[in-house]
Amino acid sequence: MLPLLTTLLLATLITASGCATKKIKAANNTKPISVYTEQFSAEIKPGSARKWFVLVEGDGAAWPTPNRPPVDPTPRDSVLLRLAEIVQHRTKANVLYVARPCQYPEQIDIHCEVRDWTTDRFAVRHVDALMDAVTNRIPTGSEVTVFGFSGGGVMALQLAGLLKRRFILEKIVLAGTPLDVNAWTNSNGYTQLTLENYREGLHLLASEQVPVFALFGDLDTTVSDQHLGIANEVGLNVNVYLFPNTSHAGLPTADTTLEILTEP
């Protein structure tokens, strides 16, 4: 099974940043899951401290072969770290980069199994780990915009329902994300992935009327706008954009992506 493709550019971090570690005990996994984050912030203008952008990383390193997953799922060159810098510079708001569980093992004390970045990468225990990482960094009541790249968009959709309870959820922006995960795996002949309460979560999100934007590139060979079926089935209104001359890796930093992400 091939993973979702991630990251082609090396980030040069010129803003203040830090990392946070959150461990949880999974119901069916005796080892804790850890999440690495980086926060981008600058001189805060009046009224901007309550505004946050949460950027959820993609699935990570590419598989060496179709049947052999990477030993380390950390993205080799994270375009989302570059995007975090750009968004912070443009908006002067706080930006929280959230890696996926088990990524960046050299930065955090990590305990994972291969299934954590393969078949179980969308599991509820991972969503909970991301939620803990976000709530440890962002004050309750803040205005939050969530961005998910590739498989990170599947996590962002699951995370959004939880964030709604504590924050003002402004919008959800997905770049190169197969919203209908099962349709995507079936069409590509991939192994089915663990999806617990995914349909129910999308149905609940549909009732919240939070703006959702799904961005695709016409040169993307990984994910296309054909994998949206479940959104229609649960009544989730998705604003779909197809970018010309744009690859999977080029979606996060495309000019139109930045406009959609940062404009009120």
**Structural domains of the chain in order of their starting residue, each with its CATH number:** 24-262 (3.40.50.1820)
Is residue 173 within 8 A of residue 144, CB to CB? The reply is no
pLDDT of residue 54 exceeding 80, the answer is yes
Q: Model confidence at 195, in pLDDT bands (50, 70, 90)?
A: very high
pLDDT of residue 27 exceeding 60, the answer is no
Q: Extract the runs of DSSP E, i.e. beta strands, from 57-197.
A: 94-98, 143-149, 168-175
Facing residues of 144 across strands? 52, 169
The C-alpha atoms of residue 188 and residue 191 are separated, in whole angstroms, by 9
Parallel/antiparallel/unpaired status of strands 29-33 and 24-26: antiparallel
Q: Which DSSP category does 214 fall into? A: E
- Region 185-209: mean pLDDT is 91
Which carries the bigger pLDDT value, residue 23 or residue 51? Answer: 51
Half-sphere CA count of 124, side-chain side, radius 13 A: 12
So what's the pLDDT on residue 38?
95
Summarised one tens digit per residue, pLDDT across range 74-107 is 999 999 999 999 999 999 999 999 999 999 998 9
- Region 144-172: mean pLDDT is 95
Q: Which DSSP category does 23 fall into? A: -
So what's the pLDDT on residue 47?
57
